[in-house]
A = this chain, B = another copy of it.
Amino acid sequence: MRLVYLGPPGTFTEVAAGRAPGTAGAERVPVASVDAALNAVREGEADFAVVPIENSVEGGVTSTLDALGAGRPLSIRAEVLVPVTFVLAARPGTALADVRRVGSHPHALAQCRGWVAEHLPAALAVPALSTAAAAQVLGGAAGEAPYDAALCAEPAALAAGLEVLARDVADNAGAVTRFVVVGRPAAPPPPTGSDKTTVVASLAEDRSGALLELLEQFATRGINLTRIESRPQGTELGRYTFSIDCEGHVADPRVSEALMGLHRVCPRVRYLGSYPRADGLAPVPPPGTADADFTAARAWLADLLSGRPAT
């Protein structure tokens, strides 16, 4: 079994890859981009890819959302939540007062913006390809990095031979990044009672209230959304595709009916998978939307159609 992840080693994605359910014993291979990771799975070069999809501070990871929503279909098999903590690290001998340029992935720069503004008010933020890459470049040949300190995970700092100048520098202490484990299309795992389902749906072009209609497919079945992100369709301003996570499993009657509803009212729907929730929560469906309610309604309908008296 081969698993690719958004590298380099030392990023939070590697941590997520190490915790990916159902991948014990897999060979773990870092790749350079989300696209490369997903394409490796599409091409059969890897069985699974682990990529970030959402951050509690920065929001959706647009490159992942866009890559999952287009191209050959893929299937989300699991999710992993990783708490995000950053250190500010520099080459040995650098003092905090010496830091004039801070490098990191733009999401990390954003998550530490407040801390940097307070402790390094004059520092310039310099984007890097990843938090780990920022550490690696800074730990490489002296003077090559276009920054004096890097925001990264502590293991990446230590692996690059850097020293930690400050810990817990993220502005929001409870920040979490959510990763998904992606494979080729397959039947979903059985429902666990604590599941999530991910879909991508676009809106009909010429109908007002189309987003309302989309949401009603979930609301009338008592299904909460745990994530909704708009992504432009790329054709013109104001045309959107929505990336949505909802409670429940495609095999739950209320979810299957909602998905069929989306298929009817949206010009395009892509189902991306049903998988166990990382938080283990099992929300109680509102009255009338439990599995038993759907089963009873179906039995009642069968009675009507066969002419058996049904009150």
Contacts and interface: CB of A to CB of B under 8 A. Distances in A.
A230 B232 contact: no
A304 interface: yes
Nearest to A271: B304
Interface centre among A222, A250, A311 (most CB of B within 10 A): A311
B232 A58 contact: yes
A305 B187 contact: yes
Interface stretch (A5-13, A92-100, A124-132): A124-132
Interface string A199-238: 0000010001101110111011010111111111011111
A296 interface: yes
From DSSP, what is the main secondary structure of chain A's interface residues?
mixed
Interface of A: 32-33, 35, 54-60, 62-63, 72-73, 75, 81, 106, 110, 113, 124-129, 146, 172, 174-176, 178, 185-188, 204, 208-209, 211-213, 215-217, 219-220, 222, 224-232, 234-238, 240, 250-251, 256-257, 259-261, 263-265, 268, 270-271, 286-289, 293-294, 296-298, 300-301, 304-311
